Structure 1
């Protein structure tokens, strides 16, 4: 029950990131790259503060996981850029569909035992993702934005896999953010970003996303991933698009299309089938 509740709380945090990002860019007039950098900085500050409060020290050579830092950067920037165009629910569905594929591939490579029921549930959820990507008549398909989100999903999948071997989730997450933040600052001046495109609302949303739903949320995620395993962790995250869709519809008045509803039903059905235990 504890793992289930912590996982559910983490999924809500993940969905909140999608909604907060869209709110900052659409309503707050925030530049996507600037939002990503502020999110990294806020996460680094709050997690560094927690380490100081807990009087924890780390040795860079012993604690550094370059894959965690790199995958976090790939996820953060791909995520923000994709949400310039994509609605909250669509973006989350693409993101976590790719996460599922990445983590299942890792499980297959590592020769994990995957029950037939979980394979079927995964296939059903993947079918929902394909339906979401299928071009619809009289509808624009933002391929660039979708591609950016799929790349972000690959980054987050790797980030989640790295977290399975983490002994101290808070310290590992803090180190990832602390090392990724200065790299993000450098990228702010290398990537095409409008430094004048910001507002008080956008900055506040970036800080909230970075400090709470990202920094603390990812530390919580690192604490439950070892108990879930690669395949269950992957499938569980496919519940996030449903939460993000509801949040986007309520807070941003985003349209809920028939295509999205069908994809959501397929994804939820696959998730339930894959993680259900007798």
Structure 2
């Protein structure tokens, strides 16, 4: 962990990254709810924009074209699956609700993947995951104020895919280069969505929102995230992500006119409590 000016710099970068993550929800929802673009076109442009900016930058830096390798299949496919499901879910989900579903689904996915790699969670971590899952169920369970079930399931799938993407990049020697290869691979896969694109609904404003999401708040945001991770503790990183749904929810209320429901508040509090318990248990395990 850095101290002094370096610590303040890391804190500032962390805030920028978290704002970028929340902005992805706001940008996607704003584009779709306003009828500026369809979900498939948004996904295609988002991934190709990220691939272009990272591919050009890393290509110039390394003096050769950035092309995905066989070992990048999981990273590229999971990034494509995440981005596609994420955009499709936001046809009906509010920005804050989507982020609340995405976050615990991603964390639970990471825990389950860890099990397959013989990383056995403690009782506290299991209890935290169970509480977070309960909050997720409360959030999407049928009811008058429940979000559309199909959209909720799509966002949960996006969270699972995000977990696989996180694991794919874990431990790579050069994460910026790996991220560029993942985006190039995901961008190529995104072309499979062309038949689902509704070109008659695309506006320049919708394209601009997708480009900003892909090139800046996604591609550069992901690279910056792993840069920050090297300078802060894992516990701090995990706790900090709890702010993303809150930022997205507040942004949705202030910028998109979304309504903050009691279901969202209750489900969010349960989710935060569960994730907080899992983080506390993880910190205690490392200290033991």
Shorter-chain TM-score range: 0.7 to 0.9
- Structure-to-structure mapping, 1:194-233, within 5 angstroms: 194-223=198-227
Are the structure 2 counterparts of residues 98 and 232 from structure 1 closer, same or farther at C-alpha, using a change threshold of 3 Å?
farther
Are the structure 2 counterparts of residues 195 and 60 from structure 1 closer, same or farther at C-alpha, using a change threshold of 3 Å?
closer
Instruction: Indicate the larger mover: 194-203 or 70-79.
Output: 194-203
Are the structure 2 counterparts of residues 59 and 178 from structure 1 closer, same or farther at C-alpha, using a change threshold of 3 Å?
closer
CA distance in 1, matches of 2:259, 2:31: 18
Structure 1 counterpart of 2:190, from 184, 187, 198? 184
Are the structure 2 counterparts of residues 222 and 57 from structure 1 closer, same or farther at C-alpha, using a change threshold of 3 Å?
farther
**TM-score when normalising by structure 1:** 0.86
What's 1:68 paired with? 75
| Corresponding position: 1:110 with 2:117 | yes
Q: What's the CA shift string for 1:156-191, capped at 9, x where partnerless?
A: 1100111112111110111111122122123212xx
**TM-score when normalising by structure 2:** 0.84
| Corresponding position: 1:265 with 2:269 | yes
Tell me by how many angstroms 1:147 deviates. Answer: 2.1
Structure 1 counterpart of 2:148, from 142, 146, 150? 142
What's 1:244 paired with? 248
Tell me by how many angstroms 1:57 deviates. Answer: 3.9
Tell me by how many angstroms 1:149 deviates. Answer: 1.4
CA distance in 1, matches of 2:29, 2:88: 10
> Does the residue aligned with 1:165 lie in a helix, a strand or coil?
coil
Contact 2:78 2:164 in 1 (8 A): yes
Are the structure 2 counterparts of residues 275 and 91 from structure 1 closer, same or farther at C-alpha, using a change threshold of 3 Å?
same
Tell me by how many angstroms 1:26 deviates. Answer: 1.3
What's 2:46 paired with? 39
CA RMSD of aligned residues (A): 2.8
CA distance in 1, matches of 2:67, 2:36: 37
Count of paired positions: 274
| Corresponding position: 1:11 with 2:18 | yes
Tell me by how many angstroms 1:251 deviates. Answer: 0.8
Tell me by how many angstroms 1:64 deviates. Answer: 4.1
CA distance in 1, matches of 2:211, 2:67: 26
CA distance in 1, matches of 2:118, 2:270: 27
